[in-house]
Amino acid sequence: MKNSKRIGMLSFLLAAIGFCACAQGVVTVKEDRIALPTYAPGGYDKTPLFYTGRVYQGAQGRVYPYPMQDVLFDGKMDETYKYLTLENDWLQMGLLPEHGGHLLNLTDRQTGFETFYRQHVVKPALIGMLGAWISGGVEWNFPHHHRATTAMPIDWKLAANADGSKTIWIGETELRRRLKWTIGLSMMPDRAVLRADNIFMNRGPFIESMIYWANVSVHCGEDYQIIFPPSCHLGFDHHKNYWTSWPIGPRKEEVELLLSQRSKYADDISGTMDLSWWRNYTIESRSIFAMDPDNDWLAGMDHKRNMGTAHVSNRHITVGKKFFLWGNFPEAHVWDTVLTDHDGPYLELMVGCWSDNQPDYSWIAPYETRKVSQYWFPVKGIGGVKNVTIDGAVNVDRRGAGELLVGFHSTRVLSNCTVRVWRKGVSGPVFEERNVAIGPDAPWCKPVKVAAAAPDQAFTAAIADADGKVFLAYTPVGPDPHDPLPPKVANPKEPKEYASAELAYEVGLRLDQFHNGLIDPEPYYRRALEIDPGYTRANLAMGVRRVKNGAYAEAKPYLEKAVARATQNFTRALDAAPEYYLALCEKGLGNLKTAEDLFWRCTWRQSYKKESYVEIARLAMRRGDWSEALLRIGDALALGQDEAKLWTLKALALRKLGRAPEAFACLDRAVACDPLEYWGMVERTGGTSFAAAEKNRGLKAQQLLECVSDYWDTGCYEEVAALCAAALARARAEKPFKTEGALPLKETLAACNSYREPMFAYFKAAAEAKLNPSAKPVLEKVDWIYCFPSRLEELEVLQWAAANLAPSADTQYFLGEILWNMDRKDAAVAAWRKAVALDPVHALALRCLGFGLSHPGTYFTNTGVPSGVPNREAYGFYLRALAADPGNFRTLDEAGKLAEKLDLPVKERLDLLLKYPEACRKYDANMLRLAYCFNAAGEYAKAHEILTTRRFHVWEGAEGLLEPFVESCIGLGRAAMAKGDCKTALKYFEESMTYPANLQAGRPGDAGSEPKSRYLMAQCKRALGDAAGCKAELENALKGWIKAGEMDYWRVKALRELGRSDECAPLIAELKQAIKELETPQPVIINAYAKFAGDNSAMERAAKAREKAGFLKALLKEIEE
């Protein structure tokens, strides 16, 4: 009752302070600046990072062609960022275009309430795909979760609209899949709402799969509640490999947790809890997705402030609702200090479109554009949320036997409204209040007396506007226990276990579609073809994978088989996909007439009809038949007019035909489809200048290369040459920029804005050769730092250069890069060998050759060795690469890993690290390896110094760095004991049970290595004459739960010294079981649904199982003798 009165009084105060029934105001949009304390990250790494099976956010963690940014620093500097703002009468929003378009704040002007988590510092942690990532606000994730460019500058544009609203457009073309996203963030003059108009484009000829999630963060604490719609009674985890009832569910997931996700501070991990409250997560970090197909909304509420955050969007498209939280326990709070200075804990209220899980990828067709709108707004003064629409939020809560708390928050200012509460079966409302004034700053919230015996579901609360139209309403829903829970996602079986070609194919397709990083889809396609060699869909899948990688000759037999089956017995195929991709293959092979004939056949059906018209138009452009091109692009636009690229193609054809006014009209249409269209802006200049197009762009050279590639594929070689010449001139005029150390913002922006890209020189030379075949092609020299070619057009040009230009180590190096990225590994290694033969000290080519030779086969766990193989020749190339570039920390890191796999002596591995101190100091992984080597060499003091003085940065999903720290402490302690200095030894053993902040470590979920430390402390205390202390430590060694393994040995020793040998048998059995598990071969198909895997993960360390088993066997032998 007190709560009801307090909420009602708050409603009155809000109305008295903030309500004003005035005319709608004005929206402002502007470019501003904001000063933020910043922990400057290091620069972008010049060394290409190829994919080796890293699983990131449940999918392939492919980095290339982006550079890594995984060196972080702890010095803080003040930086001034561009700050794009929107503001109306009620809300103020700001975002950082130089930091991934990260939405920094959405602030309620009346109260100062932050609708999203407001960071007051830029403090990166190793969470992003490339490394550096900041929490807070909103992160826009497409086509993968935690997208690669989350900390890079993006494209942006400000716009004023005819309806009085204002918009900030942000977006980019993503390099790995060449998919494009544009998001317009708008405020309207008459609503307290932030609208996001999302546009997702596949600008290419291949079908792709995509995911989109808006990663919204909110401030949380003891009084924060996550609010899924009341009709939601089910939740699930990543991959749907765990289900729970909602909101009451198990305190702990059934799945085994990483140590960093457990807490020994939880007294009870059994039973259930209310999963909607942040304060209850005292055991583990958690993600829960809502199974909620019937509602458009998601919300969260800070009940202490009686304010919250609401999101609403079309439930048929925005099907994903999820929260993630680190939790409310000591280990979780480590991340509070890692990610912010003073802003406290956060949780994420994410929303996904065309996806209800992570990963959950949906297909986007060639030249398809998808659109969806989303809305966010603050909710104030109504005590909770039970329903949300764009018009506001409703709360109906039973607060006593005979009382309902009813509240309405409106996103518009309205007067003369009527609030009614109805009871089912009763004539007329049981409560009514007329002449209600309501608005974003004036919610309505009151306790309503009702019949105590009537169930909540009997009541409906509604508010109608002055015309009697109900704009917000809610009827409580009943419980639904969902017992039993749905089945978990099924792990793929081995391919040989499938007897059906279709089932084997579908398993492979799902792995392909979801970008699974652990299980290779091709064995499933091959199994389908073993069962049925002519099976259309499996042949198509094998062919498409190869066409995408430019391996046209390999693709053609598969695609021909797919077409043969689909068209057998003189049949016109229902699905045009086999013929369409065979046409792309023929085009890639240079068989343009055959390709065109196939594309025309594809136009006979709706499937791939538009795509085929586009390709026919581009072929016509190549041969200069602009009239034919115009007709065919018109045919494509008749099938869909939302594709900006198609309007630009039409404008190009019109310009070539001398019809400039019509061309400009088409370019206007292109911008209407995509306000950030780049190619269209360049085309306005006749394809000769990018000066206007480059304004407010992110990765400027890559934007231009995408445009150059578009012109290249249409045969517009004059435009290619002109644009590349202008880019090269710009590159020559650039000032140098720094790439290493703790860099101010201007240096990382300079790298992103740079045109020092060799591919411009290659395109220019190739275009000039096309225009003047009799002239000798000339390749301009570029003083490059970064070059990561990845496009099929770039592959074509580099192959031309290798065949027609003077031999060049750089050419072969770049060619090797793109071939490796396209999984054409043998060809890549051959190119790198040529590069090294041409330039024996080409450091990056030497490194890549070392990398390539040590990573043969696939990057999948079931068909390859993602972590690499022990190759001595590869190690030799790494040593040569380090000699050529002693400061390359990435090369030293990879060489160190390979040295471990080669089982080189500790001294040799230690000497390698000490030989290159600069490269070692630059990178945490190298310093950590140095500490391990010092420990292995018995130089514990040196390891201890590293591990107590250096601030390490740990990747999300990886465990902390306690193991080498504990080992150094115990090593120092044992050395002191050997000298008879038990007081010093005791101090080191006590220190081994601490959790230094510089290691980004929290207390482990189990007893960790405490049994070992406690046992050794007991020996010290015995030697010091403290018998009681000795006994106490032996008993302490038995406390807490442990994993089977070494700690069983120390507990056996403790029990025996306590005279409790009869209790040892279970521990010895547990130790034996641990050895057995380590010696048991890994199954061919492992868990396909890991969220994180790869380097520095449990999966990577499992390769050392045999070594660990031998160590445990020695311990077992000792205690059994």
Confidence (pLDDT) at 1121:
81
Q: How far, in Å, are 93, 949, 1023 from residue 986 at the CA level?
A: 56, 21, 11
DSSP letters of 911-928? HHHHH-HHHHHH-HHHHH
Q: Is pLDDT larger for residue 608 or for residue 1091?
A: 608
Q: Report helix, strand or coil for 305.
A: coil
Q: Return the bridge partners of 201, or none.
A: 180, 369
1050, 1040 contact by CB (below 8 A): no
Question: Boundaries of CATH 2.60.40.10 in the chain?
Answer: 2-16+387-474
* Euclidean distance between CA atoms 582 and 566, whole angstroms: 12
Cβ contacts of 974-978, under 8 Å, gap ≥ 24: 974/1016, 975/940, 977/1016, 977/1019, 977/1020, 977/1023
- The token pair that represents 851 in the structure block: 């990398």
44, 68 contact by CB (below 8 A): yes
Confidence (pLDDT) at 267:
44
Q: Does 950 score more than 70 pLDDT? A: yes
Provide the b/e sequence for 966-996 (b: ≥16 CB within 10 Å): bbbbbbbbbbbbeeeebebbbbbbebbbebb
DSSP letters of 197-210? EEEEEE-SSS-EEE
Confidence (pLDDT) at 253:
67
* Euclidean distance between CA atoms 93 and 85, whole angstroms: 5
* Euclidean distance between CA atoms 807 and 904, whole angstroms: 37
Which of 782, 678, 775, 777 has the alpha carbon at shortest distance from 729? Answer: 782
Residues in contact with 1035: Cβ distance below 8 Å, sequence separation at least 6, in sequence order: 1054, 1058
Residues in contact with 21: Cβ distance below 8 Å, sequence separation at least 6, in sequence order: 413, 415, 437, 439
Question: Boundaries of CATH 2.70.98.10 in the chain?
Answer: 39-380
Q: Report helix, strand or coil for 893.
A: helix
Question: Boundaries of CATH 1.25.40.10 in the chain?
Answer: 608-674, 811-922
Length of the chain: 1121
Q: Is pLDDT larger for residue 958 or for residue 422?
A: 422
Residue range 567-582: average pLDDT?
Answer: 96
Q: Does 1005 score more than 70 pLDDT? A: no
* Euclidean distance between CA atoms 539 and 685, whole angstroms: 44
Q: How far, in Å, are 339, 748, 894, 997, 1057 from residue 43 at the CA level?
A: 19, 6, 19, 25, 55
Confidence (pLDDT) at 379:
98
* Euclidean distance between CA atoms 955 and 810, whole angstroms: 33
What integer best gives the mean pLDDT of the chain? 92
Residue range 36-61: average pLDDT?
Answer: 94
Confidence (pLDDT) at 6:
40
Percent of the chain with pLDDT over 70: 94
* Euclidean distance between CA atoms 206 and 550, whole angstroms: 12
Confidence (pLDDT) at 1084:
60
Confidence (pLDDT) at 183:
98
612, 580 contact by CB (below 8 A): yes
Confidence (pLDDT) at 1004:
62
Confidence (pLDDT) at 143:
96
DSSP letters of 800-855? HHHHHSPP-HHHHHHHHHHHHHTT-HHHHHHHHHHHHHH-TT-HHHHHHHHHHHHS
Residue range 603-612: average pLDDT?
Answer: 96
pLDDT, one tens digit per residue, over 492-504 is 999 999 999 999 9
Q: Is pLDDT larger for residue 375 or for residue 11?
A: 375
What residue spans of 856-905 are helical by DSSP H? Answer: 872-884, 889-901
Q: Is pLDDT larger for residue 254 or for residue 737?
A: 737
Read off φ and ψ for residue 221, nearest 5 degrees. 180, -165
Lowest mean pLDDT among 63-72, 447-456, 991-1000, 1088-1097: 1088-1097
DSSP H or E run through 746: helix 745-753
- The token pair that represents 186 in the structure block: 């708008």
**Fold category of 811-922 in CATH:** 1.25.40
Q: How far, in Å, are 337, 348, 854 from residue 130 at the CA level?
A: 21, 20, 23
Residue range 1053-1063: average pLDDT?
Answer: 96
Q: Does 24 score more than 70 pLDDT? A: no
* Euclidean distance between CA atoms 195 and 390, whole angstroms: 10
pLDDT, one tens digit per residue, over 115-165 is 999 999 999 999 999 999 999 999 999 999 999 999 999 999 999 999 999
Ramachandran assignment for 687, one of left (phi > 0), alpha (psi -120 to 50 degrees), beta (any other)? left
pLDDT, one tens digit per residue, over 370-398 is 999 999 999 999 999 999 999 999 999 99
Lowest mean pLDDT among 239-253, 662-676, 719-733: 239-253
Q: Does 260 score more than 50 pLDDT? A: no
Residue 14's pLDDT band (cuts 50, 70, 90): very low
Q: Does 645 score more than 90 pLDDT? A: yes
Confidence (pLDDT) at 1090:
73
How far apart, in Å, do the first and last CA atoms of the chain sit? 70
Q: How far, in Å, are 965, 983, 1008 from residue 1038 at the CA level?
A: 22, 23, 12
Residue with tokens 């918009």: 167
Confidence (pLDDT) at 1086:
64
Residue range 648-659: average pLDDT?
Answer: 98
Say whether the peptide bond before residue 495 is cis (omega within 30 degrees of 0).
no
Instruction: Write out the E strands in 683-801.
Output: none
Strands 55-56 and 431-438: unpaired
Domain 608-674 annotated CATH 1.25.40.10: yes
Q: How far, in Å, are 343, 599, 904, 915 from residue 603 at the CA level?
A: 57, 7, 61, 64
pLDDT, one tens digit per residue, over 266-275 is 445 567 899 9
Q: How many CA atoms lie within 13 Å of 899's alpha carbon, on the beta-carbon side? A: 23
pLDDT, one tens digit per residue, over 877-888 is 999 999 999 999
What residue spans of 437-535 are helical by DSSP H? Answer: 501-513, 522-531
**Fold category of 39-380 in CATH:** Beta-galactosidase; Chain A, domain 5 (2.70.98)
**Fold category of 2-16+387-474 in CATH:** Immunoglobulin-like (2.60.40)
